[in-house]
Amino acid sequence: MKIAFFDTKPYDKPSFERYGRERGITFKFYETKLTEDTAALAKGCDGVCVFVNDTVNAPVIDRLLEEGVRLIALRCAGYNNVDLRYTKDKLPVFRVPAYSPYAVAEHAIAMLLTSIRRIHKAYIRTRDFNFSLNNFTGFDLHGKTVGVIGTGKIGCCFIDICKGFGMKVLAYDKYPKELPEVTYTDLDALLSQSDIISLHCPLTRETDHLIDDNAIRKMKAKAMIINTSRGALIDAEALLKAIKERRIGGACLDVYEEESEFFFEDFSGHIVADDTLARLISMPNVIVTSHQAFLTEEALDNIADTTVSNIADHLQKGTRENEVTLF
């Protein structure tokens, strides 16, 4: 079995090569992203393996079919970059539903703590032997109310950590669970009552720009927003406007709605043309990481193991576990 692997990074190869050898799969690694122009690279391959910023729309799907591709394997949980309506009855799409919910939840907390305790600024200051504490006053998490939007595996891990800090937890989800010490409420109540709001839901038509100007206006003046899910859950321009107008306390963003042109690449020697992203990064109460939350050794191993199993089991046995389907 041969698989075209797009948007390859150095940390992808070791685990995928190892699990591939065990299951009889050869990966052709390409640094380029999957687009209509690069889909021809999959010629002669049984499938393609793609990540969050690869394009899997109708023209790409048609081109993959022309090249003889028989499946699409996502090495991530989200699938908003795939036109599932068009793939139906054409190409099966598989994903990794849970690689390490702990990795993402822990990163969300790490960003929050870094922001509210000014750890990133203290690190820079003390390296210059400046030991002043001016402008470093933070606040306790203990006793604060956190609003968690989406209570899947990652959301539940995040909730457990927050409870460990002694926080009151509000939650919003279309499909509530029985979770101890968690109060489910409607979205408006969560927005208005939470000191910290963390997003852990998929990107769908319903959740696109879930946090927009109207939602932000319902939040507390010092509320913090965390997003480790999908960038387009937040209207970035509305967020920037609210931060400039001091209507919220700050934001911790591991994702950005226009990230595909920038994230995972080195632009340190270039001028970034995205004014909204550049201005967000320049704000003292905004922390941006480059879709890094998933990046742990455990998560990378689980991603490779599950993705390779999805590919091998389907091509060899016709198994459809972890297939993404439209309801």
pLDDT of 213 reads 97
| Sheet with strand 26-29: strands edge to edge | 26-29, 2-5, 47-50, 71-74, 93-94
**Beta strands 145-149; 196-199: pairing state:** parallel
| Two structure tokens written together for 65 | 């079919």
The dihedral through the CA atoms of 81, 84, 85, 87 has a sign that is: positive
Q: What is the dihedral of CA 151, 153, 156, 157, to 10 degrees?
A: -150
Any bridge partners for residue 211, and if so which?
234
Give the pTM: 0.90
pLDDT of 260 reads 84
HEC string for the chain: CEEEECCCCCCCHHHHHHHHHHHCCEEEECCCCCCCCCHHHHCCCCEEEECCCCCECHHHHHHHHHCCCCEEEECCCCCCCECHHHHCCCCCEECCCCCCHHHHHHHHHHHHHHHHCCHHHHHHHHHCCCCCCCCCCCCCCCCCEEEEECCCHHHHHHHHHHHHCCCEEEEECCCCCCCCCEEECCHHHHHHHCCEEEECCCCCCCCCCCECHHHHHCCCCCCEEEECCCHHHECHHHHHHHHHCCCCCEEEECCCCCHHHCCCCCCCCCCCCCHHHHHHHHCCCEEECCCCCCCCHHHHHHHHHHHHHHHHHHHHHCCCCCECCCC
CA 46 to chain centre: 27
Any bridge partners for residue 145, and if so which?
168
Q: 2-99+296-317: which CATH architecture?
A: 3-Layer(aba) Sandwich (3.40)
Q: Are 192 and 108 in contact (CB under 8 A)?
A: no
pLDDT of 327 reads 61
Distances in Å between the Cα of 210 and the Cα atoms of 28, 92, 238, 308, 324 are 38, 29, 11, 34, 23
Neighbours of 47 (CB within 10 A): 26
pLDDT of 325 reads 87
| Rounded Cα–Cα distance for residues 234 and 219 (Å) | 14
Distances in Å between the Cα of 46 and the Cα atoms of 9, 69, 119, 161, 303 are 21, 5, 48, 42, 19
Q: 101-288: which CATH architecture?
A: 3-Layer(aba) Sandwich (3.40)
User: Could you read off the pLDDT tens digit of each residue along the chain, which spans 327 residues?
Assistant: 999 999 999 999 999 999 999 999 999 999 999 999 999 999 999 999 999 999 999 999 999 999 999 999 999 988 999 999 999 999 999 999 988 999 999 999 999 999 999 999 999 999 999 999 999 999 999 999 999 999 999 999 999 999 999 999 999 999 999 999 999 999 999 999 999 999 999 999 999 999 999 999 999 999 999 999 999 999 999 999 999 999 999 999 999 999 988 998 899 988 899 999 999 999 999 999 999 999 999 999 999 999 999 999 999 999 999 999 876
Distances in Å between the Cα of 283 and the Cα atoms of 159, 272, 277, 288 are 28, 16, 10, 10
Delimiting residues of CATH 3.40.50.720 domain(s) in the chain: 2-99+296-317, 101-288
Which residues are identified as catalytic? Answer: 230, 259, 291
pLDDT of 326 reads 77
